[in-house]
Amino acid sequence: MSDSAPSPARAWLGFAVAIVAVFALGLLTASVMERRVEAQIRTPLVQINAYESDNGKWAVNWPREHASWKKTLESTSETKHGGAKPRDLLAETPANVILFAGYAFSVDYNQARGHMHAVEDVEKTGRDISTKPATCWTCKSPDVPRLMAEMGPAAFYASKAKDLHTEIQHPIGCLDCHDPDTMALRISRPALVEAWASQGKDIRQASHQEMRSLVCAQCHVEYYFKKEPKNYLTFPWSEGMKIEDMEKYYDANGHVDWVHPISKTPIVKMQHPDYEVYSQGIHAYRNVSCADCHMPYKTEGGAKFTDHHIQSPLNNIQNSCAVCHRWGEAEIRGRVTAIQDKVAEGRHRAELALAQVHFDALACIQAGATDEELKPVRDLIRRSQMRWDYVAANNGMGFHAPQECQRILAAALDQAQQARVLALRLLATRGVTAPVAYPDYSSKEKAQALIQDIAAGKAPRLIP
Amino acid sequence: MSDSAPSPARAWLGFAVAIVAVFALGLLTASVMERRVEAQIRTPLVQINAYESDNGKWAVNWPREHASWKKTLESTSETKHGGAKPRDLLAETPANVILFAGYAFSVDYNQARGHMHAVEDVEKTGRDISTKPATCWTCKSPDVPRLMAEMGPAAFYASKAKDLHTEIQHPIGCLDCHDPDTMALRISRPALVEAWASQGKDIRQASHQEMRSLVCAQCHVEYYFKKEPKNYLTFPWSEGMKIEDMEKYYDANGHVDWVHPISKTPIVKMQHPDYEVYSQGIHAYRNVSCADCHMPYKTEGGAKFTDHHIQSPLNNIQNSCAVCHRWGEAEIRGRVTAIQDKVAEGRHRAELALAQVHFDALACIQAGATDEELKPVRDLIRRSQMRWDYVAANNGMGFHAPQECQRILAAALDQAQQARVLALRLLATRGVTAPVAYPDYSSKEKAQALIQDIAAGKAPRLIP
């Protein structure tokens, strides 16, 4: 009897164990199902308006992406010098003040900060925006697509920045890159579409992987404001995206951003040709997109999503570089830094030669050289500064295409030095044989005081 | 009955099939065993003498390696211009004639050919070897270890090349890199051992993978002949292998290879710092050895062996580059060429500036400038030419460390241009304001005629 039927107590125990086991299995199933739900493509909870510029509204549907985007309040570049304060590039390299004399960058040139600072940084900058065209807002806010739809791009560009200021409320966010209905990546600014068209290409044919770079290329490019239509935002891409292509473009249309007050050279300011430089590097060649490194995938629980905390990959090596390059973090950082340091050396050589030749040209003016005589000098300065700036202004300190950046910097250096040779010969023909007395621009403050003096017609005497 | 026992005819058929199958199995087994024998580490058939320099004798034991080594009779570098004829580097870049004026390289400077040509090319060269020290033989022949063992290295170096000529019979071969008893890689020349010692390192501690580069580094390096002990072959490595390290070394010991006849600058000739440049590149960083790319593994039947046809990997992409870089051949070639072209652009810029500044200095001399006045000009020329040559003289057209080569070329360009600025100011103080009348060196022949005139005291007048 005892072998074939359990005692009532043992039967109840077995029943209890079975109950607990079934309950635990239920919990596990629920947990697994929950993770599957997280991993599913989400059905939006609320409908987003076609021109919704308030990034917080999108957060209801996309809380993880929005939360990561909010981290762009933090510094986005690797801060070599530590701290959350953005680097003061003029203090770090006072020669920048000389090279940008007469242009807003000589007044204030801080390390770029995160997208959430876009509007605020325009308002707070030491540069004066009261006289700027509305074109300057183009890349700052998701309020721009609405305004452009209402006004048309040409009227938008032709407006004054201060007149549209009250409409510009939100910093770079969701609507700039996404279609609110499908969340598909979308080009929201006309300039990039037009630049592709100028190369005979239709941007609507771009693949999803290309779009993961092209949404960035709406802003991270070299651009200028056309005179006609008034202040029309234009990328000089019709000849191509290499520096020589852009030089050819600007040679043909004669665009000048400003006339340098020291050497009186007409200068083309290169903005931040990030996409152009990236396009010439090995990562682009291997079809790695901007987002792959700057917005790598992230998981929270069972959910995998694109990290919208756009930043230097060096702040997030394990999720960016290390996905392909299976090395240690210190090793990856060391390789990147070694590459950047080599580019920096070339950049500093070009920078010094350029600063000197601006003064050499001023010395020629002081010695009575004519504009006609100075023409070949200024032509070389213009070409040299365009090249130096193509590399210096783009983010990544040359990392996006190191060999191409080094090639360009060597050309910039060569042209600046050739200009010096011409200037010195010009001085000699005017009887000046003493070395040019280069003024002291060894700090940001000294350099800024110096260019203010020059602007006020009180240039120091550089020749005996 | 018919179900349980076969007919006699069917039984014989079954027996015949079994016989054939067993026979085929025997053949297969024999074939498999044969391939296994091929793949085994071979037991030498004959004993090789300790100083056996006749490469043919080694062929008895190592027929495949020897047969591939014999292919070094063919051109070893990628011949951009096609054909088996080695490239004439002076014809390709006549500025080389100017830069090497007064030195043997200005007379004859052909593309390096394969190891089998080593002795023959010394005999056939347009350069005169009758006055050369025996040190020149060090890297040419496996007869050298025997001679050094007999004479001692110092006495070998102190001899005259022509006095040892009859002893130098065989071109670079087996004994140069291998121990004849074990075939282990072995350093046979003292200079590399001593160079390691100068860095406080013991080369006997090198790993097998390091040895796959170090046997090459016995010769493919920058070297010079010390005065004391007489013509003692020495690598300037005690400060390191970067160009700045070597510059520091030569600054300290004051070594001069020759005084340039145009500018009267004391010049340090960089030989072929292949190993030094390679050491600073990404392949060395990833522990890829010289042999991995230039002597990749090869199979013949079941035998896998090291291909001793040492050549440009571009001639053998599928077995070299493509082992790690799984791309198409055209793509790999395109990437390599793109890198080399960028280095070449920097090289040509430095080359032109250097050629010009040699003439600028000559113009200063013609204008009556003193050696004291020309000292800073010549100092910059010396440093510039050292850098240009560090890159130009090394094989691979910068590919072994592209970013480092571009960095060095930018420095060379900068220094040459700075020297030009100083020279032009010097001319100005002497009342010369006209451009320096650079002579025509646009072809090898014109350039060689020009430097012969200058050597004969018939330099063209470069200033009015």
Bigger pLDDT: A128 or B423?
B423
Restricting to B residues 265-304, those with a Cβ less than 8 Å away from any Cβ of A are: 285
B223 within a domain of the structure (yes/no):
no
What's the mean pLDDT in A184-206? 97
Q: What are the tokens at A410?
A: 């060597």
Take residue B66 and report the two structure tokens written for it: 């020897």
Residue A37 lies in a domain: yes
Both tokens of residue B169? 């019979």
Contact B410 A345 (CB under 8 A): yes
Place B386 in a pLDDT band, splitting at 50, 70 and 90: very high
A346 inside 8 A of chain B by CB: yes
Tell how far CA A251 is from the center of its chain.
25
Question: How is residue B113 written in tokens?
Answer: 């050919």
CB contact under 8 A, A435 and B417: no
Nearest CB to A407 within list B404, B406, B435 = B406
Rounded Cα–Cα distance for residues B141 and B158 (Å)? 17
Q: Which residues contact B77 (CB under 8 A, 6 or more apart)?
A: B87, B111, B112, B311, B312, B395
Residue B117 has pLDDT above 80, yes or no: yes
A10 against A378, higher pLDDT? A378
CA–CA separation, B451 vs B106, rounded Å?
A: 9
**Predicted pLDDT of residue A80:** 42
Query: What's the average model confidence in pLDDT over B130-158?
Result: 96
Distance from CA of B435 to the nearest CA of A (A): 7
Please provide the DSSP assignment of B142-199 as one string.
Answer: THHHHHHHHH-HHHHHHSBHHHHGGG--S-S-HHHHB-TTT--B----HHHHHHHHHT
Look at residue B37 in the predicted model and tell me its pLDDT.
57
Q: What is the pLDDT of residues A32-67, one digit of tens each?
A: 766 665 555 667 789 999 999 999 999 999 999 999
Is residue A293 a part of any domain in this protein?
no
Q: Rounded to whole angstroms, how far apart are CA atoms A297 and A319?
A: 7
Instruction: State the Cα angle at B95 between B94 and B96, rounded to 5°.
Output: 85
CB-CB neighbors (< 8 A) of A433 in chain B: 425, 428-429
CA distance A61 to A66: 9
* CB-nearest partner of B342 from A338, A403, A425: A403
pLDDT, chain A, mean:
92
Task: Please give the pLDDT value at position A438.
Answer: 98
Chain A CB within 8 Å of residue B428 CB: yes
Quote the pLDDT of residue A28.
85
A207-219 per-position pLDDT tens digit: 999 999 999 999 9
Please report the pLDDT score of residue B36 as a whole number.
61
Residue B31 lies in a domain: yes
User: Residue B305 forms beta bridges with which residues?
Assistant: B298
Percentage of residues of chain A with pLDDT beyond 90: 81
- Between A376 and B124, whose confidence is greater? A376
Please tell me the predicted confidence (pLDDT) of residue A126.
58
**Which pair of tokens denotes residue A312?**
């230097």
Range of the domain at B33: 14-43
pLDDT band at residue A82, thresholds of 50, 70 and 90?
A: very low
Q: Which two tokens stand for residue B36?
A: 């296994």
Whether residue A407 and residue B346 make contact (CB cut-off 8 A), yes or no, is yes
Write out the two tokens for B260.
């340039």
B36 in a structural domain:
yes
**Neighboring chain B residues of A407 at a CB cutoff of 8 Å:** 342, 345-346, 406
A160: tokens are 């004054």
Q: Which two tokens stand for residue B167?
A: 């002893």
Report chain B residues whose CB lies below 8 A from the CB of A411: 345, 349
pLDDT digits (tens, 9 = 90+) for A160-172: 999 999 999 999 9
Tokens of A302: 């069972």
Evaluate if residue B82 carries a pLDDT over 70: no
Contact A407 B339 (CB under 8 A): no
Q: Is residue A298 in some structural domain?
A: no
pLDDT category of residue B154 using cuts at 50, 70 and 90: very high
Query: Mean of the per-residue pLDDT values for chain B?
Result: 92
Grade residue B80 by pLDDT with cuts at 50, 70 and 90: very low
Q: Which residue has the tokens 């600007």?
A: A250
H-run or E-run covering A454: helix A444-455
**Mean pLDDT value across residues A23-38:** 75
Is B373 touching A (CB cutoff 8 A)? no
SS3 (DSSP) at A169: coil
- In angstroms, what CA-CA distances link B50 with B58, B70, B116? 12, 22, 21
Question: Which of A7-21, A72-86, A106-120 is least confident?
Answer: A72-86
Q: Is the ipTM of this structure higher than 0.90?
A: no
| Distance (Å, whole) CA A387 – CA A390 | 5
Residue B454 corresponds to which amino acid?
Answer: I
Contact B289, B215 (CB under 8 A): no
pLDDT in tens, A418-439: 999 999 999 999 999 999 999 9
Task: Kindly report, residue by residue over A255-298, the tens digit of the pLDDT.
Answer: 999 999 999 999 999 999 999 999 999 999 999 999 999 999 99
Strands B297-300 and B266-267, bridge-based pairing: unpaired
Find all residues with CB under 8 Å of B274, minimum gap 6, and list them.
B216, B220, B221, B394, B395, B396, B400
Rounded (5°) CA angle B299-B305-B311 = 90
Residue A129 has pLDDT above 90, yes or no: no
Residue B111's pLDDT is: 78
Q: Quick one: pLDDT at residue A76?
A: 53
Chain B CB contacts of A435 under 8 Å are 425
Split at pLDDT 50, 70, 90, the class of A27 is confident
What ranges make up the beta strands (E) of A302-447? 303-306
Instruction: Return the pLDDT at B134.
Output: 96
What pLDDT was estimated at residue A26? 86
**What distance in Å separates the CA atoms of residue A447 and residue A186, rounded to the nearest whole number?**
44
pLDDT at B1 (0 to 100): 44
CA distances from A417 to A86, A414, A422, B358, B389 (A): 33, 5, 9, 16, 21
Beta strands in B177-296 (DSSP E): 224-226, 232-234, 258-259, 266-267
Pairing state between β A303-306 and A297-300: antiparallel
Do the domain assignments include residue A242?
no
What pLDDT sits at residue B430? Answer: 95
Tell me if chain A has a CB within 8 Å of the CB of B432.
yes
Please report residues of A whose CB lies closer than 8 A to that of B406. 342, 346, 403, 406-407, 410
Q: Closest to B406 (Cβ–Cβ): which among A335, A403, A414? A: A403
* Per-residue pLDDT tens over the stretch A367-416: 999 999 999 999 999 999 999 999 999 999 999 999 999 999 999 999 99
The rounded distance, in Å, linking the Cα atoms of A220 and B141 is: 58
pLDDT at B337 over 60: yes
Going from the C-alpha of A96 to that of each of A182, A210, A372, the distances in angstroms are 44, 34, 27
pLDDT in tens, B403-425: 999 999 999 999 999 999 999 99
Cα A290 to Cα A307: distance, rounded to the nearest angstrom: 12
Interacting residues of B156 by C-beta distance below 8 A, sequence separation 6+: B134, B135, B138, B144, B147, B148, B164
Residue B127 above 80 pLDDT?
Answer: no
Residue A36 located in a structural domain: yes
Q: For residues B193 and B187, is the Cβ–Cβ distance under 8 A?
A: yes
**Whether pLDDT at A110 is above 70:** yes
Residue A359 has pLDDT above 70, yes or no: yes
Segment A95-104 mean pLDDT = 95
Residue A43 corresponds to which amino acid?
T
Count of residues making up chain B: 464
Average pLDDT on A70-93 reads 71
> What is the predicted pLDDT for the residue at B79?
45
Q: CA-CA distance, B339 to A122, in Å (whole number)?
A: 40
Q: How far is B414 from chain A (nearest CA, A)?
A: 7
A2 has pLDDT over 70: no
Give the pLDDT of residue A225.
96
**Which pLDDT score is estimated for A79?**
45
Q: For residue B69, what pLDDT is reported? A: 95
Task: Domain count for chain B, please give it.
Answer: 1
Give A413's contacts in chain B (Cβ within 8 Å). Answer: 410, 413-414, 417
Q: In the prediction, which pLDDT does A83 show?
A: 45
- For an interface test with A, which of B425, B436, B438, B463 has the most A Cβ atoms less than 10 Å from its Cβ? B425
Contact A404 B349 (CB under 8 A): no
Say if B404 is an interface residue toward chain A (CB within 8 Å): yes
Residue B353 with chain A: CB contacts under 8 Å:
414, 417
